[in-house]
Structure 1
Amino acid sequence: MTHLTLYTTLGCHLCERLEALLASLHEGQYRLEKVEISEDEALMQRFGVRIPVLVDDAGAELDLGFEPQRLANWLAERGRLDEAAWRRLQPGEGESGRGGHDTAGAPARSGGRRYLS
């Protein structure tokens, strides 16, 4: 089982997107520990403008993991990318990436708000 840490804060929509992508793209089981950065000044200084930051058990960090390609590459480097799930998220494959939904399959957002198309 993979152990991952997500540095986040309450209401972070990019963090939610990363979590949804991770649930889709991670091959095998993983445990995700969420660390709330707003409760620790040192964490705020380190991660405040970078969240979400995903960290593996070796300490390797991923910034901008809410971008599907970046997360896919990071997982592939660790041998944890579900290739079939990744192919389904690509434009032109199945229904993903179409119909007003983002690449995580969640309703699209406008101005930070979800809406149904």
Structure 2
Amino acid sequence: MIPLTLYTTLGCHLCSQLEGLLGHLCGEPVALARVEISEDDALMERYEVRIPVLADDQGEELDRGFEAPRLAAWLAERGWLNEAAWEALQCQLEGEETPREVQGAEMRRGRRYLGCG
């Protein structure tokens, strides 16, 4: 289980987005400790405009983890990235319906056309 800390505040939609991505992209189960920054003046000063901020057990922080490429890179650096899930998500983000390994495919107006050989 991967212990992570999420610095957040009530109603933060970007924090919810980060949590969803984390659950999708992480290759192992996560133990997520949520820290409410609004209850601590020092945390408010440190994180107010940076949330959501994700931190590992070494204290290494990730700002803007709701951006999938940033989160994927951060997870990969630690060996926690589910590569297949990341590949599938990249295809979705790029409007592709199938993985990129398909050879001879061409995208035109958001549709995939396969070559005739």
Deviations along 1:43-99, one digit per CA (max 9) or x if unpaired, are 0000001000000001000000000000000000000000000011112144xxxxx
Q: 1:30 offset after TM fit, Å? A: 1.3
- Cα shift at 1:41: 0.3
Using the alignment, how far apart are the partners of 1:84 and 1:39 within structure 2?
Answer: 38
Kindly tell me the number of residue pairs found equivalent between the two proteins: 95
Instruction: Report the counterpart of residue 15 of structure 1 in structure 2.
Output: 15
Could you list the runs of 4 or more consecutive aligned residues of structure 1 that deviate by over 6 angstroms after TM superposition?
none
Hey, what does 2:26 align to over in structure 1? Answer: 26
Q: Which residue of structure 1 aligns with residue 61 of structure 2?
A: 61
Alpha-carbon shift at residue 29 of structure 1 (Å): 1.3
Q: Distance in 2 between matches of 1:85 and 1:63?
A: 21
CA distance in 2, matches of 1:77, 1:57: 14
Identical-residue share of aligned pairs (%): 65
Are 2:14 and 1:2 equivalent residues in the alignment?
no
Report the structure number with the largest CA radius of gyration: 2
Return the alpha-carbon distance in structure 1 between the equivalents of residues 44 and 23 of structure 2. 26
Query: Normalised by the size of structure 1, how large is the TM-score?
Result: 0.78
RMSD between aligned alpha carbons?
1.3
